[in-house]
Amino acid sequence: MNIVENVFPKEPSEKKVALVFYKPGELEDAYSFPIAGVSAKILGGFLRTFNLRLPQCFLGLVNQVTTCEREEQDKLQLRKDLETFQPDIVIIFDNETLTAAGIKGNIASYRGTVFIPSDPASPFFNFKCMPTFHPSYVLRGHSEAEVIVTADLEKALQSATSKELQRPQRTFLLNPTSQDIITRLNEIIETKAETSFDIEGGLVNIDCCSVSCDPSFAFIIPFSKGPDRVFPENEEMEIWRALSRMLMDPEVPKVLQNSLYDRFVLAYRYHILIRNVKNDTMLKHWELYCEMEKGLGFQTSFYTNEPYYKSEIKGDHLTRWAYCCKDSAVTLEISRKRDLLLKDPNLPYAEEHYQFNMAMLNPILYMELKGMKYNYLGALARAQEVENELAVYQDRINSYIGIVTGKQIGRAHV
């Protein structure tokens, strides 16, 4: 049984960075080193972007043997070595290593989130950590991973300047009176402030929505807690009237994530048209990184220091309301950060194309609400034509590479 020990830095570095993996693979086992081969070259390339080299980093393993049969012993050794090294940041590269840090989730959700494990049993207890994709994920051909890992490493190294967590400071008004809500909506109408808006629910029922005019503050507009109303019917009607006036005011610029969803639900179910949707963060993000995920959870991890929070939607009503407020506040923060990149002189057509896509939302919403003529039989016929054309080209490819399928044999005997 070969034991691959943790490796302390061989060269000095301004920031003390620890890179931790779950267990050695075949190459790591053969070289008796925590990371080896192409994965080591890829990771080294990422680090050089920030003037950092692998020999300047602590390289650790949760399991020092490939069979993981000494995990508890190896975790204690990792803890001891990290205590000796005292890293400014620990970068985690595997789902299993994330679990060892006390988070039962996957790297795809939590990558980019800086956190400090609170479980004393974790080898990472009290050390600042951040997960990201393993270099082998990049190696497997995920085209977007290089940009994501680079952004994650930049965030991790920026975070390494302090032992404290650097969290956005946000305040949420979660128990407003009906008059609080109406007053704030009227203020938006008067000031024409840029306003981020988000709903929770759908065509059957909207249980709450949130409004933010500043990334540091948002207020909830709650309609129900489970089966119960939050406000008496007459007060709720006044809230809906004030909300409708604000949303339909063409002089109040609105910011939403995937705005067509909110706009369709409100128009179809509540007969409220959201006018002057100035920005849609999903389209704005797509304009610059069309190959990446477009959900708000991913954008939050990519553009902000807000930790992963999307699981909070399943909490009690106050947790859900805070989640909704966070959505609108984060959406506004992301939108403002993207404005600068859209005006990058190296992307001369980005702003123009983004505005073109924004202009298409109104006709698309109209089609969603009114329907569109669709030649069903013609579409079926065209689909069959395309399928037949694809089969011809597939046969040519199969013949070229020497593959004979059952369909080709059948056609040969016809």
CATH of the domain at 334: 3.30.420.10
Same domain flag for 51 and 102: yes
Same domain flag for 282 and 382: no
In the listed set 116, 133, 159, which residue is the last one of a domain according to the structure?
159
Same domain flag for 28 and 154: yes
Residue 10 lies in a domain: no
Domain count, the chain: 3
Same domain flag for 97 and 207: no
Residue 165 lies in a domain: no
Same domain flag for 360 and 389: no
Same domain flag for 401 and 307: no
Same domain flag for 120 and 237: no
In the listed set 117, 135, 159, which residue is the last one of a domain according to the structure?
159
Same domain flag for 131 and 28: yes
Residue 380 lies in a domain: yes
pLDDT tens-digit profile of 310-344?
Answer: 988 888 999 999 999 999 999 999 999 988 788 88
Query: Considering the chain, what is the average pLDDT of its residues?
Result: 93
Same domain flag for 21 and 135: yes
Residue 117, both tokens: 């494990």
- Give one DSSP letter per residue of 267-333, joined into a string: HHHH------EEEEHHHHHHHH-TTS--SHHHHHHHH--PPP-GGGGGS-HHHHHHHHHHHHHHHHH
Residue 219, both tokens: 């207020």
Per-residue pLDDT of the chain (414 residues; tens, 9 = 90+): 789 999 999 999 999 999 999 999 999 999 999 999 999 999 999 999 999 999 999 999 999 999 888 999 999 999 999 999 999 999 999 999 999 999 988 899 999 999 999 999 999 999 999 999 999 998 887 778 999 999 999 999 999 988 788 889 999 999 999 999 999 999 999 999 999 999 999 998 899 999 999 999 999 999 999 889 999 999 999 999 999 999 999 999 999 999 999 999 999 999 999 999 999 999 999 998 988 999 999 999 999 999 999 988 888 999 999 999 999 999 999 999 988 788 888 888 899 999 999 999 999 999 999 998 899 999 999 999 999 999 999 999 988 888 766 555 454 444
Same domain flag for 311 and 391: no
pLDDT tens-digit profile of 17-34?
Answer: 999 999 999 999 999 999
Residue 99 lies in a domain: yes
Same domain flag for 129 and 201: no
Residue 120 lies in a domain: yes
Residue 176 lies in a domain: yes
pLDDT tens-digit profile of 271-298?
Answer: 999 999 999 999 999 998 988 999 999 9
Residue 134 lies in a domain: yes
Residue 1 lies in a domain: no
Range of the domain at 186: 171-370
Say which CATH number the domain at 85 has.
Answer: 3.40.470.10
Picking from 387, 373, 279, 374, the residue whose alpha carbon sits closest to that of residue 334 is 279
CA dist., res. 128 & res. 116, Å (int): 5
The pLDDT score that the predictor gives to residue 414 is 40
Same domain flag for 348 and 400: no
